[in-house]
Amino acid sequence: MRALLGVVFGRKRVSSVGSHLKDLWMLALPYQVAAVTTALVAVGFTKLFVWVEHRNVAMITAHPNWIFITAPLSFLVSWWMVRRFSPMAGGSGVPQVIAAAEVADDAEKEDGSWRFLNVRIIFVRIASTLAMVGGGGAIGREGPILQIAASVYRVVHRLLPPFWPKVSRRIMLVTGGAAGLSAAFNTPLGGIVFAMEELTRSHIGKFRTAVLSSVIISGMTAQWLLGPYLLLGYPQLERVGPSFMYTLLAISAVCGAMGVWSGKAVLLLDKVRRAIRGRVAQGTFVLLCALLFACVVRAFGPMSLGSGEALLDQYLFGAAPSPSVQDVAGRLIGSIVSTGSGSAGMLFGPALSSGAAIGGLFGHWFGVDRGQLNILVLGGMCAFLTGVTRSPFTSAIIILEMTDRHSAILQLMYAAMIASIVAHAIDNTSYYQIMKDRLIASVPGLRKRLLTDES
């Protein structure tokens, strides 16, 4: 009898373990499918973006005055696609992901997150971003990839059949943003920290497994397609002494402040555009932004075009880089006008080139050595990105992973810390948080429902 009971209870125990493993596998599968899909889309989009950007730079370099044709055309086409097909596909992309994660409600069958992340947004975001960079717009691909990735995760979640074990909608969206950043920069640690620091601002305990697995799978898929690349390569660095930190302090403070003011300038343009009524009037505003951008490119040179990767390559790897005030002005004004026009734009990637331009200029003024100049360039990138995002850990880790220069980790953390202090002294609320609030407020009834839920 005892043996019979042992067999029965043993079978139940095995059955329970098998059922538990099945549930775990079914819970993990949506994240894995979404991660692979995200990596494939991100790699394809990146290749298209870079190809279009290079074609435009080559054309404008050969025929500078053509910018007065290509810029207005691309700005208007990008704005029209966003306005006509999906208004939430405009602007940065990161605030949309933050807003979707905030309004996500697992208790309801459908919630407001679908307005910020969906299938249409994926296609409109890709097309409008390519149209924008095709005319030379000073935008990056990172923000669009984040919104595209989160949309992929949102779509996968929505397609789950009723019998599937319950998967948290909010965790899917946060995980999508992290996987998107990992695929965009090839920075898996940056994706994890970004999820903690920017997308949730809370402890990672509730979603650590989902984020880790998705970041790993999307990153490995991207590396399988592109190889184990570094986005910025291996810049030469030199040992620095304590006195060097005063130079880095000055650069970090300036870059942090400029990151804040760049965000404020974009918010001002966005506010003006939203206040304009009528399609023709808004189109005229976009056209004026495009003409201003064309004048910036003509006045300050082709370094103002695109994502700014050409500037990063010259400053970090050129035999004799020549940083200038023109590069700083072109990157700053160009990215502000491009993002603030209401077309597909992004401050995340251009923040790196803007910070590099400022860091390189200060290094040129101080007459530092080549390896020390690279530290100032990387510090400026880290500080400017911190000023925009208010996410110092994310900024430092992203720069570290893009360059594999572990010897500079203390300088990067120092630059991020100084920039964070300066940025919070100027304004305690980041550009992303303000844009997120504007996006939520633009959806009728969504803010009211959130306030009701909180009370």
pLDDT in tens, 231-267: 566 677 767 767 778 888 999 999 999 999 999 998 9
pLDDT for the residue numbered 68:
93
Distance, in Å, from the CA atom of 394 to the CA atom of 387, rounded to the nearest integer, reads 12
Longest dimension (CA), the chain: 94
In the chain, the amino acid numbered 44 is G
pLDDT for the residue numbered 277:
85
pLDDT in tens, 127-142: 999 999 998 888 888 7
- Classify 446 as helix, strand or coil: helix
The CATH code that applies to domain 28-226 is 1.10.3080.10
Angle 375-318-378 from CA coordinates, rounded to 5°: 20
128 contacts 344 by C-beta, under 8 angstroms: yes
Pairwise pLDDT comparison (241 vs 438), residue with the higher score: 438
Distance, in Å, from the CA atom of 314 to the CA atom of 302, rounded to the nearest integer, reads 13
pLDDT for the residue numbered 5:
45
320 contacts 312 by C-beta, under 8 angstroms: no
- Most confident range (mean pLDDT) of 99-113, 394-408, 421-435 is 421-435
pLDDT for the residue numbered 330:
92
The HSE-up count of residue 371 (CA atoms within 13 Å, CB side) is 10
Task: Work out the pLDDT band at 226, boundaries 50, 70, 90.
Answer: low
Query: Domains of the chain: which residue ranges?
Result: 28-226, 244-430
Distance, in Å, from the CA atom of 265 to the CA atom of 23, rounded to the nearest integer, reads 49
DSSP state of 166: P
pLDDT for the residue numbered 67:
92
Prediction pTM value: 0.83
Tell me the CATH number of domain 244-430, given options 1.20.58.220, 1.10.357.10, 3.90.1150.10, 1.10.3080.10. Answer: 1.10.3080.10
Q: Match 């029965």 to its residue by tokens.
A: 8
The percentage of residues in the chain with a pLDDT greater than 70, rounded to a whole number, is 82
State both tokens at 231. 């986005």
**28-226 matches 244-430 in fold:** yes
Task: Work out the pLDDT band at 106, boundaries 50, 70, 90.
Answer: low
Average pLDDT over residues 63-85: 91
